Amino acid sequence: MMDLAVINCRQLVTLAGPARPRTGLEMRDLGIIDNGILLIKDGRVAEAGTRMADAKEVIDAQGRIVLPGFVDAHTHPVFAGNRAAEFEKRIEGATYAEIAAAGGGIRSTVRQTRAATEEELLTSTRKYQEWFLSGGTTTVEAKTGYGLSLESELKMLRVIRAMGYIPTFLGAHEIPDEYRGRIDHYVDLVIHEMLPNVDAEFCDVFCEPTVFPQEQSRRILAAAKARGMNLRVHADQFTPDYGTAVAAEFQATTADHLEHTTRDGAQALKSSGTIPVLLPASVYSLGLKKYPNARMLIEEGLPVVIATDFNPGSSPTTSMLMVLSLACTQMRMTPAEAITASTINAAWSLNRGNQIGSLEPGKQADFAIHNCSDYRELPYFLSRPDPAKTHKA
């Protein structure tokens, strides 16, 4: 007896395939079953096919499509306040870098997040979690990095854990006000006070000449790696092949952003087995024009991932559907490649490729019913108002 059967799925988009990140033409194969039935038992996929079985509960998808829940592999969802005023300033001509240099940007969110109670942060994060779910996202990687002191980074981590998100420690997101001009002292604090006390799966660094230069990024990544943490790096958002060089050197799990990565950087990532995570909504929201070269990365045989980068500064969206649209229209990824990048490849980038990201027997039954009859409608109907019906095991 099954616990649940989802019937009348016009397309059951399984993403079934080899048990590893998908590259090249594999990214176009979504393992679609027409008029499929999804059978679930004990919170896991029992079968994804066309066979019906006895089930305690039946959901009639009524000809809509069923996808694995989106896996959002790069977000900063725990923050107080927002930066709508900065958004307006940028539209009037100020740049992201100028705003940051004047004490705004990440540091302004840090001031507000430090001042917020854990309960206040939980309340705002729960609101955004509703948005994630209604967009069909069932797994969220979440970074700290708006605390930048041991106490407030730990506060953020507790919220991330309470939400069931995958925790990434990003103490090296920015230099806090009290350490301006003393970057090496701040790096010492990250290495000696924060790293030994934070319980997170990944450690991330914002590696840019004006934020954490290569030398300081290396010190932090080496210390995190020595503690057994896996690594993610904010790389090449503004400077060509600068962060990717460091990510490759440390065999980071992912290198994220990559707006300015060239073929050399891509080849470095390929040789270190580092997965590229592209964040087109941050390019869009900052009003910039240079998107990562997804076609080149796919051509180089890299298993591309796309994510929202949800944060109050550069990417105020939780919508993976918006990211799918941008991936297609701005980075010329096909709809199928974009779906692979936001599900199974994203799952592998979080070391969970055997648990989530596809609807195959034994996997967690995280899925979403989207109100359309063909997967290509997801990136095509831009900003559709109808929410997905999302199930998380």
User: What residues make contact with Fe ion under the rule CB under 5 A?
Assistant: 309
Residue 314, binding choice from ligand NIG, Fe ion, none, Cβ under 5 to 8 Å by partner class: ligand NIG
Residue 255 beta carbon to ligand NIG: minimum distance, rounded to whole angstroms: 12
Name the closest residue to ligand NIG (Cβ): 313
Tokens of 103: 């004490």
CA distance 128 to 144: 16
Closest CA to 78 of 132, 114, 122, 117: 122
Closest CA to 170 of 192, 201, 139: 201
Nearer to Fe ion, 309 or 360 (CB): 309
- The neighbour count for residue 231, using CB atoms within 10 Å, is 23
Nearer to ligand NIG, 64 or 234 (CB): 234
Residue 126 beta carbon to Fe ion: minimum distance, rounded to whole angstroms: 21
Residue 158 beta carbon to Fe ion: minimum distance, rounded to whole angstroms: 21
Residue 270 beta carbon to Fe ion: minimum distance, rounded to whole angstroms: 22
Nearer to ligand NIG, 65 or 187 (CB): 187
Residue 106, binding choice from Fe ion, ligand NIG, none, Cβ under 5 to 8 Å by partner class: ligand NIG
Residue 132 beta carbon to ligand NIG: minimum distance, rounded to whole angstroms: 17
Residue 211 beta carbon to ligand NIG: minimum distance, rounded to whole angstroms: 8
Residue 143: exposure state from Cβ atoms within 10 A (0-12, 13-18, ≥19):
buried
Interaction site with ligand NIG (CB under 6 A): 76, 105-106, 109, 206, 234, 237, 282, 309, 311-315
Tokens of 226: 């020595």
Cα–chain center distance at 209: 24
Q: Is 207 left (phi over 0), alpha (psi -120 to 50) or beta?
A: beta
Residue 206, binding choice from Fe ion, ligand NIG, none, Cβ under 5 to 8 Å by partner class: ligand NIG
CA distance 200 to 82: 25
Nearer to ligand NIG, 96 or 375 (CB): 96
Residue 237 beta carbon to Fe ion: minimum distance, rounded to whole angstroms: 8
Nearer to Fe ion, 174 or 366 (CB): 174
C-alpha distances in angstroms, 238 versus 162, 207, 300? Answer: 33, 10, 21
Residue 354: exposure state from Cβ atoms within 10 A (0-12, 13-18, ≥19):
middle
Nearer to ligand NIG, 70 or 146 (CB): 146
Residue 158 beta carbon to ligand NIG: minimum distance, rounded to whole angstroms: 20
CA distance 339 to 153: 33
Nearer to ligand NIG, 288 or 336 (CB): 288
Nearer to ligand NIG, 140 or 368 (CB): 140
CA distance 300 to 359: 27
Residue 36, binding choice from Fe ion, ligand NIG, none, Cβ under 5 to 8 Å by partner class: none
| Helices within 92-149 (DSSP H only) | 96-101, 106-115, 118-134
